[in-house]
Amino acid sequence: MASKISTESRRARSLLRMSEAREVSAGILYTEHSSLRSVSPGVCSLWSYESRPHGSQRPVEVNATGDHLYWLNRSDPLLNTILPETSVSIVVNLDEPWTAGRTLVSSAFLPRLAVIGPVTSSRILRLGKSVRAFGAGFDSTLSPNVLGVPAAELVDRIVPLKDLWSRLEIERLAAALMISDPRRHVTALRDEITKRTGGVAFRDSVSQSAGLLRLHAGCIPINDLAERNGLTRQQFRHRFLTAAGLPPKLYARITRFQKLVHSLLSADVSNWAGVASDVGFYDQAHMINEFHGFAGSPPTVFFQPRGSESISVKPRLCGRPYQWPGRT
């Protein structure tokens, strides 16, 4: 009898190890559909998430259409954080529910069809075990056209899309989701946004100023933009806040932070001092302080995979973040 129990126990442990191994080998394919975005003025990002076994040894690939594919582990901090962002996003979740919040205790379930307004501080994000989702981010100055409300009403908020679109509009989008193809899903969402904006990215000179800030990663003096618009700094701030939902200085800082995140992902840690000046910071200390302020931790901590063994900073870190200990 003892022998039988021992055999069953070993079998159970073996099955558990196999299950854990499968979970480790499985990751999430994050695709930036750059080729679809290029023909859509005002659309800042088009993306999809899908649970898949790792299909490549390379963490980043470019497919035949020019889209970027990122193979991410579930512990990757980029999958577990909603980072500050100036755009407004529509997110469609087709699989298990997600939660988000300032802390794990305060986290709440996200709507299946959600609108995420401009984000000024990071939040914890928890994806379901199985992931299949897609989304689009668009210039916040287009929010009245796309959603019927100004971006200022959506700052740091996550609201159901059904609160902003009619039932008929939701059903039209749902009909496009019957085909199981992430690229087709993203295309349908892009077309719906473009139709609402009339294919026009900027409605006035203040909206153009927001586009310039994004184009130059926030590295344009606000006084220069005010003069370009024939306004005082205070007048420009008021009009910009009304159009984009954020004050111009904060908008510029978040735009620069977004560029910083992408730069740090692709740069060797030994070159981070150079990244700081390239992105527009005074020095590396300024860069680290700004990153900490928006992400909640310095970059060496943020890019550490969640749940892995602590990475000691005494033996000097080297390589790109995806090459650090704990990454596969």
| Structural domain count, the chain | 2
Which of helix, strand or coil describes residue 19? helix
Q: Are residues 237 and 113 in the same domain?
A: no
Residue 281 CA, chain-centre distance (Å), reads 22
Measured distance CA(199)–CA(291) in Å, rounded: 34
Domain for residue 14, yes or no? no
Measured distance CA(103)–CA(123) in Å, rounded: 7
Q: And the tokens for 92?
A: 């469609």
| Helix, strand, coil share of the chain (percent; to 5) | 45, 20, 35
Q: Are residues 114 and 184 in the same domain?
A: yes
Q: Are residues 51 and 161 in the same domain?
A: yes
Q: Are residues 98 and 231 in the same domain?
A: no
Q: Are residues 195 and 270 in the same domain?
A: no
Domain for residue 304, yes or no? yes
Q: Which of 143, 176, 201 is the last residue of a domain?
A: 201
* CB 112, CB 93: distance < 8 Å: yes
* CB 290, CB 257: distance < 8 Å: yes
Domain for residue 15, yes or no? no
* CB 31, CB 72: distance < 8 Å: no
**Closest to 122 measured CA to CA, from 269, 302, 252, 282:** 302
Quickly tell me which residue has 């890019």 as its tokens.
303
Q: Are residues 137 and 121 in the same domain?
A: yes
Q: Which of 185, 201, 217 is the last residue of a domain?
A: 201
Q: Are residues 180 and 253 in the same domain?
A: no
Q: Are residues 274 and 223 in the same domain?
A: yes
Cβ neighbours, 10 Å, residue 310: 9
Specify the CATH number for the domain of residue 310.
1.10.10.60
Q: Which of 168, 201, 234 is the last residue of a domain?
A: 201
| Dihedral in degrees, nearest 10, Cα atoms 63, 64, 65, 70 | 0
Q: Are residues 164 and 130 in the same domain?
A: yes
Q: Write out the residue range of the structural domain in which residue 274 sits.
A: 202-328
223 burial (CB, 10 Å; 0-12 / 13-18 / 19+) is: exposed
Q: Are residues 237 and 176 in the same domain?
A: no
pTM of the predicted structure, to 2 decimals: 0.83
pLDDT per position in the chain (328 positions), as tens? 545 445 555 555 554 444 444 444 568 889 999 888 876 778 999 999 999 876 555 677 778 888 888 888 887 887 889 999 999 999 999 999 999 998 877 889 999 999 999 999 999 999 988 999 999 999 999 999 999 999 999 999 999 999 999 998 898 888 877 777 888 899 999 999 998 888 666 668 888 899 899 988 899 999 999 999 999 999 999 999 999 999 999 999 999 999 998 888 777 777 788 888 888 888 889 999 999 999 988 888 888 765 444 444 444 566 666 666 655 5
Backbone angles phi, psi at 35, to 5 degrees: -65, -30
